[in-house]
Amino acid sequence: MLSVLIVDDSFVMRRMVARSLLVSGVPAHETREAANGVEALSVVREVLIDIVLCDLHMPGMDGVEFVRRLGSDAHTADIPVVIVSSERSEGLLAELEDLGVRGFLRKPFQPAVLGELVRDVLGLKGAA
């Protein structure tokens, strides 16, 4: 079973992302949640995570710093990260790409688009 970590300071948005995964037919998965980068790092160090869906603007530790720290740890560097954010700054998106982020989805998003992106990043094309 896939393990998906949803990182967003908004409880409402975490539930929306989780719901979108369900309705978009992402194969059997369980979701875990974190409200910022600090909590997310704690989760990935304790549990095997297949993919992280991460917001950018969060108190405590933001998404950019989380991605940077995830990539600098050999134990977590291979976990794919997809950014789910309302951020539209091209410069920041380029920086995230350089840090190894595998996908980017702007809010608001359609559930089907999120599902397709997750399947694509995980190499599950055609699996629904």
What x/- string results for residues 97 through 126 when contact with another protein is judged by CB under 8 A? ---------xxx------------------
What CA–CA distance (Å, rounded) separates 37 from 19? 21
**Nearer CB in complex with another protein: 72/89:** 89
Minimum distance of another protein from residue 1's CB (angstroms):
22
**Cα distances (angstroms) measured from residue 71 to each of 24, 92, 118:** 28, 17, 19
By rule CB under 8 A, what string of x and - marks binding of each residue 13-52 to another protein? x-xx--x---------------------------------
Binding residues for another protein, rule CB under 8 A, total 20
In the complex, the residues that contact another protein under the rule CB under 8 A are 9-13, 15-16, 19, 57-59, 86-91, 106-108
